[in-house]
Every structure is written in structure tokens, then in C-alpha cells.
Amino acid sequence: MSAPTRQKALPQRIRKSTAAPSMTVEKFRARLAELGGQEWPDEPLDHEGEVWRSSGPESHLPQFTDKHVEWVIAFIEKTGLPAFFNDKINAGKKKAGRPGRVSILGVLVALWLCAETGRGMLALHMRDVLFHQISPAMQDKIGIRADAVPSAPDKRLAYDLSSVACVSRRFRLMLSHIDPSPLPKNRRMAWEDLDRLKRDLAVDDMERLQASLDWVCNQMLEAAWRTLPRAVRRQYRGNACIDATPMKVGVRSYNATVCASDPDAGIYVRDGDHADPSDKDQPAVKGKAKRFQRKNSVRFFAYDVHLIVAADTRPGVKQHLPSVPLAMTVTRPGEDPAGSARRMFASAEQRNHPTGYLSGDALYSNQNEAEYQIPALAAGRKVVMTYTDAQLGNQGSHASGAHLIEGWYYCPSMPADLVNATVDYRADRIDHATWQQRITERQHYRMRRAEKVNARGYERYRCPAAGANPIAVCPFKERSENERATRQADQTTVDARIEIDPSNVPTDDNGVRPQVCRQETVSIHVTDDAKFRQSLQYGTEEHYSLYNLMRQSQEGEHGRAKDEAYQGLGSPSRRRMRGRAVQSLFAAFLLAAASVRKIDTFLKKAKEPDGPGGAIFVLKRSPGLRKNTWHPDLPDSPDPPELAPAA
């Protein structure tokens, strides 16, 4: 199709410019003259006058009420972080010294108020909160020794500089007890210098510091979660989504000859596992020379913020629980997603969160089963996932002879068109209706559970033609050949079971059929073929609805936390300090503040339960057009309206 033909095929759009016509300098000067001019005085504005002297940096800042600050203090103390940091710092002291101007509790309160109000997570803003935006009574309560603000400009500047220095020193002291990174920050340097200047940390010390960092961050998320009433929290069934979202940092160096000023971060590539293909520390995908990479893919310096987000997956128009993050950790982009997942599993288990279905995108289905899927099963999670194109169809055979087709075991005689239903659908060889029909027909060949998982981790399956109530007819199972008439939807009573074609059953070199065709039941361990197995049949409406509900909960939380009008998690200018520890702590406070904001909105909109014993809920948004969508009043006639004659 030629370019003009394509242009004609496109919908007609209004292509008029919304700007004023271009004007010459003389014409524009004449237009400005019509507006008149502002008379400016000849003398300069006096920056040394009494008005400027009497206005300090605190005069233009909003003041936090004592009631709100007391709530923040109670919130922070419930996390246990003040006691944690005080114990760590006091344990390293040889003798007690003079108390500092800024306390641990004060820094944590300032961090929360900055995150809550959407201000930048800067030491300057933390100084303003502690020394200019809370009352003297609250300063005394959180351990801030704030002297009277001097009136002289030079002394006021010195006062503010010393105050922000006190905040920075206390904050850096806190970070030193949770920073697992040995690398120096804040300077671009050669890689040799980076290796020479790094801290001497043993692996055990790095693991201990990483555990401390994750514990601190997840305590903030737990405190936000517990602002929900207990009756609402009890509505949570354990269903969640796991994913990572990039958190940009203020680093713009792409020069491979020197390291960036934040060596803990990395180049995020919106592709595959999100890792930089040129990163030598990240191994290539097994079986491939290099990672798949789109042309013109988005690349920027960032951290990966891994999250497990709670989801209310009950059907219907009522939502009984807001989607908020329950666990988090922060890594370089593409750095061990499975390891990050395991740390979050352990954190959620430590805080006694229930477990249920766990969804994840293709990044997680591509992980090694010993590192992700099996630990997820051990943590009580039922995996629900999607697959890449290369993973569709037949995913292997079990030792018993059952075939694993897109996450579930089926009869080895299942026809090829049913095996490749999703393959054909993604390749546009069949339409959606045909694909759904074939997914439904797979049910006739599906292996059925005969027993629950035993203490050794085995569960027994039977083929569709086995058992006392076979749903298929197979010559290898004599009992299935007995007539079994059932009432159909059209009220007729017939034997409508499918007949399995035994010619498709593979045999070994001695002509022996597989175990599943010779026995009534077979034993399959829960970890067998764990890489692709999942709890729901892929392609069904149940799988589609559950997977998408959980994924939408995750993506919605990303958007809420990155909303520039509030927390702005994706804005690097609001998080200018460098390093994994400080960026993780900032992310935890911002995510917790976004959760509290979402919970507050949920509780304000919540409706009372319909009857006794029910739970409060909010109505889900309709998937259709909003009610207030504007539509123009179009004439009924296809002819254009007649215009009135010009006056």
C-alpha cells in the first residue's frame, strides 16, 4: 500500500494549528504597545531592608499541627525502627558522649513528613521540618535541641547550615548500620580506584546488613498495612503479585571507562530481565549468546524496586481490600530477581501474612525452578504465571508419561491441535473463539488429582479414563469402555465422552506403554517440572481473570507511588542521595506514605456491609465509559447544519 493510500485509509483528524499566526517584530511590538507598560522604579529593590531581615526561612513554610506530629511519632515508634537504630548505634559506642541536636526518632519523623507531603527526600527539607515546621513542644518530644533562630542574616545562614549538617550526620550514622554495599559513592572514578577504595566487608557481614536493610524497609510497609482496621485486614486471602519497577536515580554517566557516582545502581533497559546487556557482572541467558534486546529500547540509570502487592481477587463489583505492598527489596536492574523474591517470601512469612495465589510476569517464569518456583511452593504460594512464545505448547514429559502442556499434566494422546492451541493463537493462525474452544476441549484430556499432597510432597493423579467415574474412553482402561450415559444440556441422556486415540501414545524401545497408561494412578512430586507448573489451567477464564486482577493491582501501585503530585517515587530529583541503603529507605517511606494515602481514601469511600457479619467495601470502577464523559450533541441528519446569514 502506497503512502497516499495509507493516508486516505487513516481516520480524518483536525490538523489545524492552535497557535496564533506568525508575526513580524514590528507587528508584535505594536501588539505589546496596546497592552500598556509597567512602570518600574529607578532604584533597585532593597534586599537589605527590614522586611527581608524580619522574614526567616521558617515564615513561608507550612506548620504541622501537634496532633498530626503525635500521630506520626506513634506510627514511627510502632515500626520499632527508633529502638533498632539506637541499639545498633549504642552498641558501637565506647563511652557516652554529649547528646546530639538531632535524634534518631527526629530523623525518622522528618523522613515520614517529607514523604507524606510529597516534598523531596532531601536533608534540607528534613532540616526545615525539624527546626522550622513543628512546634517547640514536639521538638522536645522527639529530641530536637533547637535554639532560637538568630535574626541577623549571616547568623541565620550559619544556623541553618549547622542544622542541616546535624541532620546529615545523624542520617549517615543510621545508614552505616544497614548498608550492605562496600562501594564508595558520590564520585566518578576509574574502576581500579573503585576496587581499591571499597570497604572490606565479608560475605557474612554483607548478608547481615542486607537482612537489616530489608527488615527496616519492610517494617515501614507493615506499619502502613496495619493502619487498616483488623476487620479489613482479615479479608485478605493471601493472593498477591510480584514484580519490579524501576526507580530512576540522578546519574547520567554511560561511559564504561569510569564508574558512575552511584555504583550501586545500574542501567535499566526496558526489556527482558531489565539488565544492561553490556554489564559483565550479569550472566547471559543460558543457551543464548546474548540477551534479547529491542531496537531503541529505553535505557536509564535506576534501581529495581521489587514488590509483593496484596490483591483482592474476589469476583463481583465489591472490593473489600485496597491493593498495597506487603514486602519489598531494592537491587540493581536485573540483579537476581529470584533471590529478591526469596527475601520477600521470608519477610512476609516472618510477619505472618497469609499465602495464596502468586502471579508474576514472564521474568519469573524464566527463572531457575530451584531458585524461584520451588521456594515459592515451599513458602505456601500457588504460582500463577504467563509464558513467553518459546515456552508454549508441550513443556516436557513426566517420568510417568504424562505430558506437561502449559502448566498442567495431560494425557499423552492429546491431539496436536489442542497441544498447540496457544501457539497457533499467538501466531494469528486461529481466532480467539477457536482458541477458547480448544482450551475447553483440553479439559477432556486433563490429569485429575486423586489424592492430596502427602507428607513426602507427593500427590496422586489419574488419567481422564481412569477411576470409578471416567470422563473419557480409552482401550487401555477397560472400565472406561463401559457405557456411562449422562444427562446433557438439551435434556437427552447419552454417553458423550470423548474417545482417546491410543495410536498417539508413545512407547519405549520394548513397546511398553508409559506408566500413566498402565496404572490407575501415578505419583507426582510437587516440585516435578516446577518451572512451568501452575495451579490453574492456562488460557481459561479463571486463569485470565485471576492473573490480570493481581497484575493490575501491582501496576496500579506503581503508578500511585510514582504520581508526581504526591510521593513521586520515579523522580530522581527528589532523592539526591546516593547508594542502595539510602535509596531503599527512601523507597520504603514513599511506598508506605502512598499506602497510607490509599488506605485513607479506601476507608473514606467504604460502604457499610449489607448484613451482619459482612465487611466494608468500595464499589469497583465500571470498565465502560465514565458517566461524566462529554459527548457532543450531533444532529440527527447526516447533512451539515445550516449557518445563519452573516450580519
The pLDDT, as a whole number, for residue 578 is: 93
Instruction: Please count the CA atoms within 13 angstroms of the CA of 144 that sit on its side-chain side.
Output: 29
For cell 517494617, name the residue. 219
Average pLDDT of the chain to the nearest whole number:
84
CA distance linking residue 616 with residue 605, whole number of Å: 10
pLDDT, mean of residues 412-432: 93
The pLDDT, as a whole number, for residue 622 is: 64
- pLDDT higher than 80, residue 2: no
Q: What is the 3-state secondary structure (H, E, C) of 18-69?
A: CCCCCCCHHHHHHHHHHHCCCCCCCCCCCCCCHHHHHCCCCCCCCCCCHHHH
CA distance linking residue 81 with residue 178, whole number of Å: 12
Q: How confident is the model at residue 644 (pLDDT cuts 50, 70, 90)?
A: low
* DSSP E strand boundaries for 273-324: 299-310, 318-319
Q: How confident is the model at residue 641 (pLDDT cuts 50, 70, 90)?
A: low
The pLDDT, as a whole number, for residue 379 is: 94
For 388, 399, 433, 440, 603, the CA distances from 430, given in Å and listed in that order, are 18, 32, 8, 15, 46
Least confident of 76-80, 138-142, 299-303, 627-631: 627-631
The length of the chain in residues reads 647
The pLDDT, as a whole number, for residue 433 is: 93
Instruction: Please count the CA atoms within 13 angstroms of the CA of 536 that sit on its side-chain side.
Output: 20
Of 293, 257, 254, residue with least CA distance to 272: 293
For 11, 17, 18, 637, the CA distances from 14, given in Å and listed in that order, are 10, 9, 11, 22
Q: How confident is the model at residue 51 (pLDDT cuts 50, 70, 90)?
A: very low
Q: How confident is the model at residue 56 (pLDDT cuts 50, 70, 90)?
A: very low
Least confident of 242-251, 581-590, 636-645: 636-645
Q: How confident is the model at residue 286 (pLDDT cuts 50, 70, 90)?
A: very low
For cell 492473573, name the residue. 547
Of 161, 167, 162, residue with least CA distance to 105: 167
Q: Which residue has the higher pLDDT, 57 or 459?
A: 459
CA distance linking residue 170 with residue 107, whole number of Å: 8
Long-range contacts of 80-84 (CB under 8 A, 24+ apart): 80/219, 81/108, 81/216, 81/219, 81/220, 82/108, 84/215, 84/216
* Contacts of 331 by beta carbon, 8 Å cutoff, 6+ apart: 303, 304, 306, 340, 580
The pLDDT, as a whole number, for residue 281 is: 44
Q: Strand, helix or coil at 359?
A: strand
Q: How confident is the model at residue 624 (pLDDT cuts 50, 70, 90)?
A: low
The pLDDT, as a whole number, for residue 285 is: 41
pLDDT, mean of residues 17-37: 79
CB neighbours (10 Å) of residue 254?
12
Q: Which of 189-198, 449-458, 577-586 has the highest mean pLDDT?
A: 577-586
To which H or E segment does residue 603 belong? helix 580-605
pLDDT, mean of residues 58-73: 87
pLDDT digits (tens, 9 = 90+) for 123-156: 999 999 999 999 999 999 999 988 877 878 888 8
pLDDT digits (tens, 9 = 90+) for 561-613: 999 999 999 999 999 999 999 999 999 999 999 999 999 999 999 988 877 76
Of 307, 310, 407, 305, residue with least CA distance to 355: 310
Q: How confident is the model at residue 631 (pLDDT cuts 50, 70, 90)?
A: low
- pLDDT higher than 80, residue 527: yes
Q: How confident is the model at residue 350 (pLDDT cuts 50, 70, 90)?
A: very high
The pLDDT, as a whole number, for residue 404 is: 94
Of 547, 607, 575, residue with least CA distance to 242: 547
Least confident of 244-258, 271-285, 377-391, 460-474: 271-285
pLDDT, mean of residues 512-518: 85
pLDDT digits (tens, 9 = 90+) for 327-349: 999 999 989 999 999 999 999 99
Residue 190 CA to its chain's centroid (Å) = 34
- pLDDT higher than 80, residue 191: yes
Residue 619 β-bridge partners: 318
